Structure 1
Amino acid sequence: MEETILSVKNLNKSFGNIQTLFDVNFECQKGHIIGLVGANGAGKTTIMKAILSLIRSEGQITIAGQKSTFNHHPILKKVGALVEYPGIYPYLSGRDHLKLFVDKTNDSKERIQNVINDLKLNDYIDQRAKLYSLGMKQKLGIAMALINQPDLVILDEPMNGLDPQATKDLREIILKRRDQGMTVLISSHILGELQKLAEDLIVIDHGKVIKKTTMNELLASNQHFVVIKTSDDVKAQKLLEIVGFKVVSQSPLRFVLTEENTVERLMNILMKQQITVTDFQHEDADLEESILKLIAE
Protein backbone atom coordinates (compact mmCIF):
# COMPACT_ATOMS: atom_id res chain seq x y z
CA MET A 1 0.00 0.00 0.00
CA GLU A 2 1.48 3.34 -1.04
CA GLU A 3 1.83 6.08 1.54
CA THR A 4 0.08 9.41 0.92
CA ILE A 5 2.43 12.27 1.81
CA LEU A 6 0.25 15.18 0.66
CA SER A 7 -3.54 15.37 0.63
CA VAL A 8 -5.45 18.41 -0.67
CA LYS A 9 -9.20 18.41 -0.04
CA ASN A 10 -11.84 20.89 -1.20
CA LEU A 11 -9.32 23.68 -1.70
CA ASN A 12 -11.02 26.97 -2.59
CA LYS A 13 -9.47 30.40 -2.99
CA SER A 14 -10.90 33.81 -3.82
CA PHE A 15 -9.11 37.11 -4.29
CA GLY A 16 -11.73 39.67 -3.29
CA ASN A 17 -14.93 38.51 -4.99
CA ILE A 18 -13.11 36.65 -7.77
CA GLN A 19 -12.84 32.91 -7.12
CA THR A 20 -9.66 31.35 -8.54
CA LEU A 21 -9.70 27.79 -7.11
CA PHE A 22 -12.79 25.57 -7.09
CA ASP A 23 -12.87 22.45 -4.85
CA VAL A 24 -9.39 21.24 -5.77
CA ASN A 25 -8.81 17.64 -4.60
CA PHE A 26 -5.74 15.46 -5.11
CA GLU A 27 -3.20 13.28 -3.31
CA CYS A 28 0.53 12.74 -3.77
CA GLN A 29 2.13 9.38 -2.99
CA LYS A 30 5.52 9.10 -1.29
CA GLY A 31 8.42 8.69 -3.69
CA HIS A 32 6.48 9.90 -6.74
CA ILE A 33 7.05 12.85 -9.05
CA ILE A 34 3.73 14.58 -9.69
CA GLY A 35 3.32 17.08 -12.50
CA LEU A 36 0.87 19.95 -12.05
CA VAL A 37 -0.02 21.13 -15.56
CA GLY A 38 -2.30 23.70 -17.14
CA ALA A 39 -2.21 26.99 -19.03
CA ASN A 40 -0.82 30.19 -17.51
CA GLY A 41 -3.35 31.49 -15.00
CA ALA A 42 -4.95 28.05 -14.51
CA GLY A 43 -4.18 28.19 -10.77
CA LYS A 44 -1.01 26.06 -10.41
CA THR A 45 1.01 28.64 -8.43
CA THR A 46 -2.00 29.51 -6.25
CA ILE A 47 -2.38 25.81 -5.33
CA MET A 48 1.31 25.60 -4.42
CA LYS A 49 1.16 28.80 -2.34
CA ALA A 50 -1.92 27.48 -0.50
CA ILE A 51 -0.14 24.19 0.34
CA LEU A 52 2.83 26.18 1.66
CA SER A 53 0.58 28.52 3.73
CA LEU A 54 1.88 31.53 1.79
CA ILE A 55 -1.73 32.56 1.20
CA ARG A 56 -4.93 32.02 3.18
CA SER A 57 -7.33 29.52 1.60
CA GLU A 58 -10.32 27.33 2.44
CA GLY A 59 -10.07 23.56 2.51
CA GLN A 60 -7.95 20.92 4.18
CA ILE A 61 -4.24 20.31 3.59
CA THR A 62 -2.54 17.33 5.22
CA ILE A 63 1.22 16.73 4.94
CA ALA A 64 2.70 13.44 6.22
CA GLY A 65 -0.46 12.86 8.28
CA GLN A 66 -0.44 16.31 9.92
CA LYS A 67 -2.98 19.01 9.15
CA SER A 68 -1.38 22.23 7.98
CA THR A 69 -3.24 25.54 8.18
CA PHE A 70 -2.41 29.17 7.41
CA ASN A 71 -1.89 29.89 11.14
CA HIS A 72 -0.39 26.57 12.26
CA HIS A 73 2.04 24.69 10.03
CA PRO A 74 5.05 23.20 11.88
CA ILE A 75 5.11 20.30 9.37
CA LEU A 76 6.28 22.75 6.65
CA LYS A 77 9.77 22.48 8.20
CA LYS A 78 9.95 19.12 6.40
CA VAL A 79 8.95 20.62 3.04
CA GLY A 80 11.35 22.21 0.55
CA ALA A 81 10.02 24.73 -1.97
CA LEU A 82 10.80 27.07 -4.80
CA VAL A 83 7.74 29.07 -5.83
CA GLU A 84 7.97 31.96 -8.29
CA TYR A 85 11.37 33.55 -7.59
CA PRO A 86 13.95 32.46 -5.03
CA GLY A 87 14.28 34.88 -2.08
CA ILE A 88 17.90 35.94 -2.46
CA TYR A 89 19.92 38.51 -0.48
CA PRO A 90 22.15 40.41 -2.95
CA TYR A 91 25.10 40.91 -0.58
CA LEU A 92 25.36 37.33 0.68
CA SER A 93 27.25 34.63 -1.20
CA GLY A 94 25.50 31.49 -2.40
CA ARG A 95 27.24 29.48 0.33
CA ASP A 96 25.99 31.94 2.98
CA HIS A 97 22.43 31.40 1.76
CA LEU A 98 22.81 27.64 2.18
CA LYS A 99 24.32 28.11 5.66
CA LEU A 100 21.30 30.23 6.62
CA PHE A 101 18.82 27.60 5.43
CA VAL A 102 20.51 24.36 6.48
CA ASP A 103 19.33 22.56 9.63
CA LYS A 104 22.23 22.76 12.07
CA THR A 105 23.30 19.12 12.47
CA ASN A 106 26.65 17.32 12.51
CA ASP A 107 26.52 16.74 8.76
CA SER A 108 25.24 20.19 7.70
CA LYS A 109 28.62 21.15 6.15
CA GLU A 110 28.64 17.91 4.16
CA ARG A 111 25.04 18.45 3.02
CA ILE A 112 25.90 21.95 1.80
CA GLN A 113 28.84 20.59 -0.20
CA ASN A 114 26.75 17.72 -1.64
CA VAL A 115 24.05 20.05 -2.97
CA ILE A 116 26.74 22.40 -4.39
CA ASN A 117 28.31 19.44 -6.22
CA ASP A 118 24.97 18.04 -7.40
CA LEU A 119 23.88 21.36 -8.93
CA LYS A 120 27.40 22.25 -10.15
CA LEU A 121 27.51 25.55 -8.23
CA ASN A 122 31.23 25.34 -7.33
CA ASP A 123 32.42 28.04 -9.76
CA TYR A 124 30.42 30.88 -8.22
CA ILE A 125 29.06 29.68 -4.86
CA ASP A 126 31.37 32.05 -2.93
CA GLN A 127 30.52 35.15 -5.01
CA ARG A 128 27.90 37.64 -3.85
CA ALA A 129 24.46 36.76 -5.20
CA LYS A 130 23.99 40.21 -6.77
CA LEU A 131 26.48 39.11 -9.45
CA TYR A 132 24.42 36.01 -10.34
CA SER A 133 22.57 35.58 -13.64
CA LEU A 134 18.91 34.47 -13.68
CA GLY A 135 19.95 30.83 -14.16
CA MET A 136 22.49 30.97 -11.29
CA LYS A 137 19.84 32.42 -8.95
CA GLN A 138 17.41 29.72 -10.01
CA LYS A 139 19.95 26.98 -9.26
CA LEU A 140 20.67 28.52 -5.86
CA GLY A 141 16.90 28.61 -5.16
CA ILE A 142 16.67 24.89 -6.04
CA ALA A 143 19.69 24.16 -3.79
CA MET A 144 17.93 25.98 -0.92
CA ALA A 145 14.79 23.86 -1.51
CA LEU A 146 16.79 20.60 -1.42
CA ILE A 147 19.36 21.41 1.30
CA ASN A 148 17.53 19.73 4.21
CA GLN A 149 16.69 16.56 2.27
CA PRO A 150 12.95 17.16 2.69
CA ASP A 151 10.34 14.42 2.30
CA LEU A 152 8.29 16.68 0.02
CA VAL A 153 9.55 19.31 -2.42
CA ILE A 154 7.33 21.77 -4.25
CA LEU A 155 8.88 23.30 -7.38
CA ASP A 156 7.12 25.96 -9.45
CA GLU A 157 8.70 26.29 -12.92
CA PRO A 158 12.15 25.15 -11.69
CA MET A 159 13.59 25.09 -15.25
CA ASN A 160 13.05 28.86 -15.69
CA GLY A 161 16.27 30.48 -16.84
CA LEU A 162 18.22 27.19 -16.96
CA ASP A 163 20.31 26.26 -20.00
CA PRO A 164 19.95 22.75 -21.50
CA GLN A 165 22.86 21.30 -19.46
CA ALA A 166 21.54 22.74 -16.17
CA THR A 167 18.05 21.42 -17.03
CA LYS A 168 19.49 17.93 -17.58
CA ASP A 169 21.46 18.15 -14.29
CA LEU A 170 18.30 19.18 -12.42
CA ARG A 171 16.36 16.29 -13.96
CA GLU A 172 19.02 13.82 -12.82
CA ILE A 173 19.02 15.25 -9.25
CA ILE A 174 15.22 15.08 -9.01
CA LEU A 175 15.22 11.44 -10.20
CA LYS A 176 18.06 10.52 -7.83
CA ARG A 177 16.29 12.10 -4.83
CA ARG A 178 12.99 10.47 -5.87
CA ASP A 179 14.76 7.08 -5.79
CA GLN A 180 15.80 7.92 -2.20
CA GLY A 181 12.11 8.42 -1.28
CA MET A 182 11.57 12.14 -1.86
CA THR A 183 8.21 13.26 -3.30
CA VAL A 184 8.21 16.11 -5.82
CA LEU A 185 5.22 18.23 -6.86
CA ILE A 186 6.39 20.13 -9.90
CA SER A 187 4.81 22.56 -12.34
CA SER A 188 6.45 23.40 -15.64
CA HIS A 189 5.34 24.84 -18.95
CA ILE A 190 8.24 22.90 -20.55
CA LEU A 191 6.11 19.82 -21.12
CA GLY A 192 8.86 17.89 -22.88
CA GLU A 193 10.87 18.03 -19.63
CA LEU A 194 7.88 17.07 -17.52
CA GLN A 195 7.31 14.08 -19.79
CA LYS A 196 10.78 12.78 -18.81
CA LEU A 197 10.12 13.28 -15.08
CA ALA A 198 6.53 12.97 -13.87
CA GLU A 199 4.80 9.64 -13.20
CA ASP A 200 1.51 11.18 -12.07
CA LEU A 201 -0.30 14.16 -13.57
CA ILE A 202 -2.86 16.62 -12.25
CA VAL A 203 -4.31 18.76 -15.02
CA ILE A 204 -5.73 22.13 -13.94
CA ASP A 205 -7.91 24.43 -15.99
CA HIS A 206 -9.54 27.64 -14.74
CA GLY A 207 -8.94 26.71 -11.09
CA LYS A 208 -10.44 23.20 -11.36
CA VAL A 209 -8.86 19.76 -11.56
CA ILE A 210 -10.02 18.38 -14.91
CA LYS A 211 -7.97 15.17 -14.89
CA LYS A 212 -5.93 13.04 -12.48
CA THR A 213 -3.97 10.39 -14.34
CA THR A 214 -0.56 8.83 -14.83
CA MET A 215 1.85 9.87 -17.56
CA ASN A 216 1.70 6.37 -19.09
CA GLU A 217 -2.11 6.31 -19.19
CA LEU A 218 -2.36 9.74 -20.74
CA LEU A 219 0.21 8.98 -23.44
CA ALA A 220 -1.33 5.57 -24.16
CA SER A 221 -4.72 7.18 -24.83
CA ASN A 222 -3.06 9.37 -27.45
CA GLN A 223 -3.43 9.39 -31.17
CA HIS A 224 -0.88 7.41 -33.17
CA PHE A 225 0.36 8.48 -36.58
CA VAL A 226 2.29 7.15 -39.52
CA VAL A 227 4.55 9.37 -41.60
CA ILE A 228 5.32 8.19 -45.16
CA LYS A 229 7.15 9.22 -48.32
CA THR A 230 6.08 7.60 -51.57
CA SER A 231 6.81 7.55 -55.29
CA ASP A 232 3.66 9.71 -55.77
CA ASP A 233 2.56 11.59 -52.63
CA VAL A 234 -0.33 13.43 -54.31
CA LYS A 235 -1.89 10.23 -55.62
CA ALA A 236 -1.22 8.40 -52.30
CA GLN A 237 -2.98 11.12 -50.32
CA LYS A 238 -6.05 11.14 -52.59
CA LEU A 239 -6.34 7.35 -52.47
CA LEU A 240 -6.00 7.06 -48.72
CA GLU A 241 -8.44 9.90 -48.05
CA ILE A 242 -11.06 8.26 -50.26
CA VAL A 243 -10.90 5.04 -48.21
CA GLY A 244 -11.18 6.95 -44.91
CA PHE A 245 -7.65 7.71 -43.69
CA LYS A 246 -7.40 11.09 -41.97
CA VAL A 247 -4.48 13.18 -43.24
CA VAL A 248 -2.85 15.46 -40.67
CA SER A 249 -0.12 17.01 -42.81
CA GLN A 250 0.87 16.89 -46.48
CA SER A 251 4.59 17.49 -46.36
CA PRO A 252 5.54 14.96 -45.14
CA LEU A 253 2.38 12.86 -45.46
CA ARG A 254 1.11 12.13 -41.95
CA PHE A 255 -1.96 9.95 -41.29
CA VAL A 256 -3.87 9.04 -38.14
CA LEU A 257 -3.81 5.33 -37.29
CA THR A 258 -6.94 3.71 -35.83
CA GLU A 259 -8.09 0.14 -35.14
CA GLU A 260 -9.56 0.07 -38.63
CA ASN A 261 -7.00 2.18 -40.46
CA THR A 262 -3.85 0.22 -39.72
CA VAL A 263 -0.37 0.35 -41.24
CA GLU A 264 -1.10 -2.99 -42.94
CA ARG A 265 -4.24 -1.63 -44.63
CA LEU A 266 -2.39 1.50 -45.77
CA MET A 267 0.45 -0.56 -47.29
CA ASN A 268 -1.95 -2.92 -49.09
CA ILE A 269 -3.88 -0.04 -50.67
CA LEU A 270 -0.72 1.66 -51.96
CA MET A 271 0.82 -1.61 -53.25
CA LYS A 272 -2.35 -2.44 -55.23
CA GLN A 273 -2.05 0.94 -56.98
CA GLN A 274 1.67 0.40 -57.63
CA ILE A 275 2.73 3.27 -55.36
CA THR A 276 6.08 2.56 -53.69
CA VAL A 277 6.64 3.60 -50.07
CA THR A 278 10.21 4.98 -49.89
CA ASP A 279 10.21 5.99 -46.21
CA PHE A 280 8.03 5.17 -43.25
CA GLN A 281 7.91 5.92 -39.52
CA HIS A 282 5.57 5.64 -36.53
CA GLU A 283 4.83 8.72 -34.41
CA ASP A 284 2.96 9.16 -31.14
CA ALA A 285 1.38 12.38 -29.96
CA ASP A 286 3.39 13.94 -27.13
CA LEU A 287 2.36 15.28 -23.72
CA GLU A 288 1.70 18.75 -25.10
CA GLU A 289 -0.83 17.44 -27.63
CA SER A 290 -2.51 15.31 -24.94
CA ILE A 291 -2.85 18.21 -22.49
CA LEU A 292 -4.18 20.59 -25.16
CA LYS A 293 -6.70 17.95 -26.24
CA LEU A 294 -7.85 17.47 -22.61
CA ILE A 295 -8.27 21.22 -22.04
CA ALA A 296 -10.10 21.66 -25.34
CA GLU A 297 -12.55 18.89 -24.38
Structure 2
Amino acid sequence: MQRVQEKMVRVVGLRQTFGHRIVLRDVNFEFSAGKIVGLVGPNGAGKTTVMKALLGLLPTDAGNVRILGQPVSVNTHSVVTQQVGALIERPAIYPFLSGWQQLQLMTTSEKQITWVVQVLQMDAYIHRAAKRYSLGMKQKLGIAMALVNRPRLVILDEPMNGLDPQSVKRLRHLIVQMAGKGTTFLISSHILSELEKIVDTVILIDQGEVLLQRTMTQLRESARQSLVVQTTENAWALRVLLQADYPVTQRVRNLIVTKPVALTPLLRTLLDAHIQILKINQYQEDLETVLLRLLTERKV
Protein backbone atom coordinates (compact mmCIF):
# COMPACT_ATOMS: atom_id res chain seq x y z
CA MET A 1 0.00 0.00 0.00
CA GLN A 2 1.43 3.37 -1.06
CA ARG A 3 2.06 5.78 1.80
CA VAL A 4 0.31 9.16 1.51
CA GLN A 5 2.91 11.93 1.65
CA GLU A 6 2.52 14.17 4.68
CA LYS A 7 1.30 17.71 4.06
CA MET A 8 3.73 20.09 5.72
CA VAL A 9 1.79 23.30 4.98
CA ARG A 10 -1.83 23.90 4.02
CA VAL A 11 -3.16 27.44 3.50
CA VAL A 12 -6.87 27.91 2.72
CA GLY A 13 -8.73 31.13 1.90
CA LEU A 14 -6.22 33.47 3.50
CA ARG A 15 -7.28 37.12 3.33
CA GLN A 16 -5.60 40.19 4.79
CA THR A 17 -6.22 43.91 4.54
CA PHE A 18 -4.23 46.84 5.91
CA GLY A 19 -6.67 49.73 6.10
CA HIS A 20 -8.34 49.95 2.69
CA ARG A 21 -5.54 48.04 0.95
CA ILE A 22 -6.11 44.37 0.16
CA VAL A 23 -2.84 42.55 0.77
CA LEU A 24 -3.91 38.90 0.43
CA ARG A 25 -6.85 37.72 -1.69
CA ASP A 26 -8.09 34.19 -0.85
CA VAL A 27 -4.61 32.67 -0.88
CA ASN A 28 -4.61 28.88 -1.22
CA PHE A 29 -1.67 26.50 -1.49
CA GLU A 30 -0.20 23.38 0.07
CA PHE A 31 2.97 21.35 -0.15
CA SER A 32 4.38 18.14 1.24
CA ALA A 33 7.21 17.45 3.66
CA GLY A 34 10.75 17.32 2.31
CA LYS A 35 10.08 19.75 -0.56
CA ILE A 36 11.91 22.96 -1.46
CA VAL A 37 9.26 25.49 -2.43
CA GLY A 38 9.94 28.88 -3.98
CA LEU A 39 7.52 31.74 -3.22
CA VAL A 40 8.06 34.34 -5.94
CA GLY A 41 6.46 37.50 -7.24
CA PRO A 42 7.00 41.25 -7.74
CA ASN A 43 7.75 43.65 -4.89
CA GLY A 44 4.64 44.21 -2.82
CA ALA A 45 3.01 41.00 -4.07
CA GLY A 46 2.34 39.76 -0.53
CA LYS A 47 5.16 37.22 -0.10
CA THR A 48 6.41 38.46 3.28
CA THR A 49 2.84 38.81 4.56
CA VAL A 50 2.18 35.16 3.66
CA MET A 51 5.33 34.09 5.48
CA LYS A 52 4.41 36.10 8.58
CA ALA A 53 0.93 34.52 8.55
CA LEU A 54 2.53 31.07 8.39
CA LEU A 55 4.53 31.93 11.51
CA GLY A 56 1.52 33.34 13.38
CA LEU A 57 3.11 36.78 13.50
CA LEU A 58 0.08 38.74 12.33
CA PRO A 59 -3.69 38.34 12.48
CA THR A 60 -5.56 37.62 9.25
CA ASP A 61 -9.08 38.62 8.25
CA ALA A 62 -10.12 35.19 7.02
CA GLY A 63 -8.83 31.74 6.15
CA ASN A 64 -6.66 29.30 8.02
CA VAL A 65 -3.10 28.03 8.14
CA ARG A 66 -2.02 24.55 9.17
CA ILE A 67 1.52 23.23 9.63
CA LEU A 68 1.80 19.46 10.10
CA GLY A 69 -1.97 19.44 10.50
CA GLN A 70 -1.92 21.84 13.45
CA PRO A 71 -3.57 25.28 13.25
CA VAL A 72 -1.42 28.40 13.26
CA SER A 73 -2.58 31.88 14.27
CA VAL A 74 -1.36 34.70 16.49
CA ASN A 75 -2.93 32.86 19.45
CA THR A 76 -2.09 29.28 18.43
CA HIS A 77 1.41 28.62 17.17
CA SER A 78 3.02 25.96 19.36
CA VAL A 79 3.90 23.98 16.21
CA VAL A 80 5.85 27.00 14.94
CA THR A 81 7.83 27.26 18.18
CA GLN A 82 8.68 23.56 18.13
CA GLN A 83 9.03 22.68 14.44
CA VAL A 84 9.77 25.83 12.40
CA GLY A 85 12.88 27.96 11.85
CA ALA A 86 12.66 31.28 10.05
CA LEU A 87 14.48 34.31 8.72
CA ILE A 88 12.04 37.06 7.79
CA GLU A 89 13.15 40.38 6.22
CA ARG A 90 16.35 40.80 8.29
CA PRO A 91 18.02 38.89 11.14
CA ALA A 92 16.93 39.85 14.66
CA ILE A 93 20.36 40.28 16.24
CA TYR A 94 21.51 41.70 19.57
CA PRO A 95 24.49 43.93 18.61
CA PHE A 96 26.53 43.42 21.79
CA LEU A 97 26.24 39.63 21.85
CA SER A 98 28.57 37.44 19.83
CA GLY A 99 27.22 35.20 17.10
CA TRP A 100 27.83 32.19 19.33
CA GLN A 101 25.84 33.77 22.16
CA GLN A 102 22.97 34.54 19.77
CA LEU A 103 22.86 30.86 18.78
CA GLN A 104 22.89 29.86 22.46
CA LEU A 105 19.62 31.76 22.81
CA MET A 106 18.14 29.39 20.21
CA THR A 107 19.44 26.06 21.59
CA THR A 108 21.35 24.55 24.49
CA SER A 109 23.02 22.02 22.19
CA GLU A 110 26.66 22.96 21.65
CA LYS A 111 26.85 20.16 19.09
CA GLN A 112 24.14 21.81 16.98
CA ILE A 113 25.80 25.23 17.25
CA THR A 114 29.17 23.79 16.21
CA TRP A 115 27.52 22.04 13.25
CA VAL A 116 25.79 25.15 11.87
CA VAL A 117 28.84 27.38 12.43
CA GLN A 118 31.06 24.95 10.55
CA VAL A 119 28.64 24.24 7.71
CA LEU A 120 28.15 27.98 7.06
CA GLN A 121 31.88 28.65 7.59
CA MET A 122 31.43 31.24 10.35
CA ASP A 123 34.30 30.03 12.58
CA ALA A 124 36.53 33.08 11.97
CA TYR A 125 34.10 35.58 13.49
CA ILE A 126 31.46 33.67 15.46
CA HIS A 127 32.87 34.88 18.82
CA ARG A 128 32.96 38.57 17.82
CA ALA A 129 30.24 41.00 18.89
CA ALA A 130 27.57 41.08 16.19
CA LYS A 131 27.82 44.89 15.94
CA ARG A 132 31.14 44.31 14.12
CA TYR A 133 29.60 42.01 11.53
CA SER A 134 29.31 42.91 7.85
CA LEU A 135 25.96 42.55 6.05
CA GLY A 136 26.93 39.10 4.79
CA MET A 137 28.04 37.96 8.26
CA LYS A 138 24.74 39.11 9.77
CA GLN A 139 22.83 37.32 7.02
CA LYS A 140 24.72 34.08 7.68
CA LEU A 141 24.00 34.42 11.40
CA GLY A 142 20.30 34.88 10.67
CA ILE A 143 20.31 31.75 8.51
CA ALA A 144 22.23 29.87 11.23
CA MET A 145 19.62 30.89 13.79
CA ALA A 146 16.88 29.50 11.52
CA LEU A 147 18.69 26.19 11.00
CA VAL A 148 20.43 25.49 14.31
CA ASN A 149 17.60 23.41 15.80
CA ARG A 150 17.23 21.40 12.58
CA PRO A 151 13.51 22.27 12.35
CA ARG A 152 11.13 20.30 10.14
CA LEU A 153 10.11 23.47 8.25
CA VAL A 154 12.42 26.38 7.42
CA ILE A 155 11.02 29.68 6.09
CA LEU A 156 13.60 31.98 4.50
CA ASP A 157 12.83 35.46 3.16
CA GLU A 158 15.53 36.63 0.70
CA PRO A 159 18.23 34.44 2.32
CA MET A 160 20.86 35.25 -0.34
CA ASN A 161 20.87 39.01 0.36
CA GLY A 162 24.40 40.19 1.09
CA LEU A 163 26.03 36.79 0.49
CA ASP A 164 29.05 36.42 -1.79
CA PRO A 165 28.89 33.83 -4.63
CA GLN A 166 30.75 31.16 -2.64
CA SER A 167 28.40 31.56 0.33
CA VAL A 168 25.37 31.37 -1.98
CA LYS A 169 26.69 28.12 -3.45
CA ARG A 170 27.32 26.68 0.02
CA LEU A 171 23.82 27.67 1.14
CA ARG A 172 22.29 26.02 -1.93
CA HIS A 173 24.18 22.82 -1.20
CA LEU A 174 23.12 22.87 2.45
CA ILE A 175 19.44 23.40 1.62
CA VAL A 176 19.43 20.51 -0.86
CA GLN A 177 21.28 18.30 1.62
CA MET A 178 18.83 19.06 4.45
CA ALA A 179 15.81 18.61 2.17
CA GLY A 180 17.18 15.21 1.19
CA LYS A 181 16.99 14.27 4.88
CA GLY A 182 13.39 15.45 5.23
CA THR A 183 13.56 19.18 6.05
CA THR A 184 11.01 21.29 4.17
CA PHE A 185 11.93 24.75 2.88
CA LEU A 186 9.79 27.70 1.82
CA ILE A 187 12.06 30.31 0.24
CA SER A 188 11.27 33.74 -1.12
CA SER A 189 13.94 35.26 -3.37
CA HIS A 190 14.28 37.73 -6.22
CA ILE A 191 17.39 35.87 -7.42
CA LEU A 192 15.44 33.42 -9.57
CA SER A 193 18.56 32.12 -11.32
CA GLU A 194 19.69 30.73 -7.95
CA LEU A 195 16.25 29.60 -6.85
CA GLU A 196 15.61 27.51 -9.94
CA LYS A 197 18.69 25.40 -9.19
CA ILE A 198 17.16 23.97 -6.01
CA VAL A 199 13.36 24.31 -5.86
CA ASP A 200 10.92 21.47 -6.49
CA THR A 201 7.84 23.70 -6.71
CA VAL A 202 7.17 27.37 -7.47
CA ILE A 203 4.27 29.42 -6.10
CA LEU A 204 3.77 32.66 -8.05
CA ILE A 205 1.94 35.43 -6.21
CA ASP A 206 0.97 38.89 -7.47
CA GLN A 207 -1.19 41.58 -5.87
CA GLY A 208 -1.97 39.24 -3.00
CA GLU A 209 -3.27 36.45 -5.22
CA VAL A 210 -1.68 33.09 -6.00
CA LEU A 211 -1.54 32.93 -9.79
CA LEU A 212 -0.07 29.46 -10.06
CA GLN A 213 1.63 26.62 -8.23
CA ARG A 214 3.67 24.34 -10.46
CA THR A 215 6.54 21.93 -10.16
CA MET A 216 9.85 22.85 -11.78
CA THR A 217 9.30 19.94 -14.17
CA GLN A 218 6.02 21.50 -15.33
CA LEU A 219 7.63 24.94 -15.70
CA ARG A 220 10.53 23.53 -17.71
CA GLU A 221 8.06 21.77 -19.99
CA SER A 222 6.25 25.09 -20.55
CA ALA A 223 9.52 26.95 -21.31
CA ARG A 224 9.67 28.12 -24.91
CA GLN A 225 12.58 27.07 -27.07
CA SER A 226 14.02 28.92 -30.04
CA LEU A 227 16.98 28.91 -32.38
CA VAL A 228 19.15 32.00 -32.76
CA VAL A 229 20.77 32.11 -36.20
CA GLN A 230 23.23 34.60 -37.62
CA THR A 231 24.29 34.58 -41.28
CA THR A 232 26.24 36.78 -43.67
CA GLU A 233 22.96 37.72 -45.39
CA ASN A 234 20.22 37.89 -42.76
CA ALA A 235 17.71 39.73 -44.96
CA TRP A 236 17.99 37.12 -47.69
CA ALA A 237 18.04 34.26 -45.15
CA LEU A 238 14.84 35.63 -43.57
CA ARG A 239 13.04 35.53 -46.94
CA VAL A 240 14.31 32.01 -47.66
CA LEU A 241 13.16 30.66 -44.32
CA LEU A 242 9.77 32.38 -44.50
CA GLN A 243 9.24 30.90 -47.97
CA ALA A 244 10.02 27.49 -46.46
CA ASP A 245 7.31 28.11 -43.79
CA TYR A 246 9.66 28.46 -40.84
CA PRO A 247 8.35 30.58 -37.88
CA VAL A 248 11.14 33.14 -38.04
CA THR A 249 11.63 36.82 -37.18
CA GLN A 250 14.61 39.15 -37.38
CA ARG A 251 15.98 40.79 -34.24
CA VAL A 252 18.96 43.13 -34.74
CA ARG A 253 21.70 40.89 -36.24
CA ASN A 254 19.97 37.59 -35.50
CA LEU A 255 17.18 35.49 -36.92
CA ILE A 256 14.95 33.94 -34.27
CA VAL A 257 13.16 30.68 -35.10
CA THR A 258 10.41 30.82 -32.50
CA LYS A 259 9.30 27.18 -32.31
CA PRO A 260 11.27 23.93 -31.93
CA VAL A 261 12.28 22.71 -35.38
CA ALA A 262 14.58 20.02 -36.75
CA LEU A 263 18.01 21.60 -37.15
CA THR A 264 19.35 19.64 -40.11
CA PRO A 265 16.58 20.56 -42.61
CA LEU A 266 16.83 24.23 -41.57
CA LEU A 267 20.58 24.26 -42.17
CA ARG A 268 20.11 22.54 -45.49
CA THR A 269 17.56 25.16 -46.56
CA LEU A 270 20.06 27.95 -45.89
CA LEU A 271 23.02 26.16 -47.45
CA ASP A 272 21.03 25.29 -50.59
CA ALA A 273 20.41 29.04 -50.95
CA HIS A 274 24.22 29.59 -50.72
CA ILE A 275 23.88 31.48 -47.43
CA GLN A 276 26.87 31.30 -45.09
CA ILE A 277 25.97 30.55 -41.46
CA LEU A 278 28.07 32.42 -38.89
CA LYS A 279 26.57 30.95 -35.74
CA ILE A 280 23.56 29.07 -34.45
CA ASN A 281 22.50 28.65 -30.81
CA GLN A 282 19.63 26.97 -29.09
CA TYR A 283 17.88 29.04 -26.41
CA GLN A 284 15.41 27.93 -23.75
CA GLU A 285 13.58 30.27 -21.39
CA ASP A 286 14.89 30.30 -17.83
CA LEU A 287 12.63 30.41 -14.77
CA GLU A 288 12.60 34.20 -14.64
CA THR A 289 11.56 34.51 -18.29
CA VAL A 290 8.86 31.86 -17.97
CA LEU A 291 7.34 33.48 -14.87
CA LEU A 292 7.45 36.98 -16.34
CA ARG A 293 5.70 35.70 -19.46
CA LEU A 294 3.05 33.88 -17.42
CA LEU A 295 2.57 36.98 -15.28
CA THR A 296 2.12 39.14 -18.37
CA GLU A 297 -0.28 36.65 -19.97
CA ARG A 298 -2.45 36.56 -16.83
CA LYS A 299 -2.74 40.37 -16.87
CA VAL A 300 -3.75 40.64 -20.52
- Per-residue deviation, residues 139-172 of structure 1 (Å, max 9, x unmatched): 0000000000000000011001111111111101
Structure 1 residue ranges (4+ consecutive) displaced by more than 4 angstroms after TM superposition? none
Let me know the Cα RMSD of the aligned residues: 1.5
Structure 2 equivalent of residue 256 of structure 1:
258
1:133: how far off?
Answer: 0.9
Report 1:149-228 matches (<5 A). Answer: 149-228=150-229
Aligned partners of 1:233 and 1:62: how far apart in 2?
A: 58
Structure 1 equivalent of residue 238 of structure 2:
237
Structure 1 equivalent of residue 102 of structure 2:
97
1:135: how far off?
Answer: 0.9
1:138: how far off?
Answer: 0.5
**Are the aligned partners of 1:222 and 1:285 in contact in 2 as well (CA < 8 Å)?**
yes
The answer on 1:11 being equivalent to 2:10 is no
Change in 2 beyond 3 A, CA 1:173/1:269: same
Structure 2 equivalent of residue 79 of structure 1:
84
1:241: how far off?
Answer: 4.3
| Alignment-mate amino acid for residue 68 of structure 2 | A
- Per-residue deviation, residues 256-284 of structure 1 (Å, max 9, x unmatched): 124xx543442232122121334322111
**Are the aligned partners of 2:201 and 2:214 in contact in 1 as well (CA < 8 Å)?**
yes
Unpaired runs of 5+ residues, structure 2, are none
Structure 2 equivalent of residue 267 of structure 1:
267
**Are the aligned partners of 1:35 and 1:202 in contact in 2 as well (CA < 8 Å)?**
yes
Task: Name the % identity.
Answer: 44
| Count, aligned residues | 291
Secondary structure of 1:101's counterpart equals coil
Aligned partners of 2:187 and 2:112: how far apart in 1?
A: 23
1:54: how far off?
Answer: 1.1
Aligned partners of 1:167 and 1:110: how far apart in 2?
A: 24
**Are the aligned partners of 1:98 and 1:112 in contact in 2 as well (CA < 8 Å)?**
yes
**Are the aligned partners of 1:116 and 1:122 in contact in 2 as well (CA < 8 Å)?**
yes
Structure 2 equivalent of residue 113 of structure 1:
114
**Are the aligned partners of 2:16 and 2:24 in contact in 1 as well (CA < 8 Å)?**
yes
Q: TM-score, normalised by structure 1?
A: 0.94
Secondary structure of 1:71's counterpart equals coil
Structure 2 equivalent of residue 56 of structure 1:
59
| Alignment-mate amino acid for residue 252 of structure 2 | Q
Change in 2 beyond 3 A, CA 1:96/1:36: same
Unpaired runs of 5+ residues, structure 1, are none
Change in 2 beyond 3 A, CA 1:240/1:144: same
- Per-residue deviation, residues 3-59 of structure 1 (Å, max 9, x unmatched): 111111111101012211011011121111000111111111110011111111121
Change in 2 beyond 3 A, CA 1:248/1:122: farther
